[in-house]
Amino acid sequence: MSMREVATPSFEGQKPGTSGLRKKVTVFQQPGYLESFVQAVFDCAPELQGGTLVLGGDGRFFNRNAIQTILRMAAANGIDRVLVGQGGILSTPAASAVIRRHRARGGLVLSASHNPGGPDGDFGIKYNIANGGPAPEAVTEAIYRRTQTIRQYRIVDADPVDLDQIGSRKIGTMTVTVIDPVDDYAMLLGGLFDFDAIRALLARKDFRFRFDAMHAVTGPYARRLLVEMLGAPASSVVNAVPLEDFGGGHPDPNPVYAPELYKAAVLDGELDFAAASDGDGDRNMILGKGIAVTPSDSLAVLAANATLAPGYARGISGVARSMPTSRAPDAVARALKIECFETPTGWKFFGNLLDAGRITLCGEESYGTSSDHVREKDGLWAVLFWLNLLAARPGETVLSILQAHWKRYGRHYYSRHDYEAVDAGQATEALNQLRAALPALPGQKIGGLVITAADDFAYRDPVDGSESKGQGLRVICGEQARLIARLSGTGTEGATVRLYFELYEADPAKQADDVQTRLQPLIDFAEAQTGLRKITGRAAPDVIT
Ligand code: VG1
Ligand code: CO
State residue 396 phi and psi, 5-degree precision: -105, 160
* CA 292 – CA 289 distance, rounded (Å): 8
429 burial type by CB count under 10 A (0-12 exposed, 13-18 middle, 19+ buried): middle
Q: How far is CA 405 from CA 215, 295, 379, 487, in A?
A: 33, 14, 22, 32
The whole-number pLDDT of residue 493 equals 81
pLDDT score of 1 more than 80: no
* CA 430 – CA 35 distance, rounded (Å): 37
Print burial letters for 257-283: b (CB count within 10 Å at least 16), e (below 16). bbeebbebbbeeeebbbbbbbbbbbbb
How close is the Cα of 251 to the center of ligand 1, in Å?
A: 13
Of residues 298, 351, 412, the one with CA closest to residue 133: 351
- Note the pLDDT tens digit of each residue in 523-532: 999 999 999 9
The whole-number pLDDT of residue 249 equals 85
Q: Which domains does the chain have, with CATH numbers?
A: 3-181 (3.40.120.10), 185-409 (3.40.120.10), 411-544 (3.30.310.50)
Pocket of ligand 1 (CB under 6 A): 18-19, 113-114, 278, 282-283, 322, 345-347, 364, 366, 368, 488-490, 498
The whole-number pLDDT of residue 489 equals 84
Note the ligand closest to the C-alpha atom of 124.
1
| Dihedral angle sign, alpha carbons of residues 210, 213, 218, 220 | positive
DSSP letter for 49, please: B
Would you call 289 helix, strand, or coil by DSSP? coil
How close is the Cα of 172 to the center of ligand 2, in Å?
A: 34
Q: What's the average model confidence in pLDDT over 512-517?
A: 89
Q: What's the average model confidence in pLDDT over 179-184?
A: 98
User: What count of other Cβ atoms lies within 10 Å of the Cβ of residue 251?
Assistant: 35
In sequence order, which residues have a C-beta less than 8 Å from that of residue 517 and are 6 or more positions away? none
* CA 84 – CA 167 distance, rounded (Å): 10
C-alpha angle 8-13-19 in degrees, rounded to nearest 5: 115
Rg (CA), the chain: 23
Give the whole-number percent of the chain exceeding pLDDT 70: 100
Provide the pLDDT confidence category of residue 512 given band limits of 50, 70 and 90: confident
State residue 324 phi and psi, 5-degree precision: -75, -10
Note the ligand closest to the C-alpha atom of 489.
1
pLDDT score of 2 more than 90: no
How high is the mean pLDDT of the chain? 96
Of residues 247, 536, 257, 265, the one with CA closest to residue 399: 265
Using the atom order of ligand 1, give the atom closest to the CA of residue 92: 20
Active site residues: 113
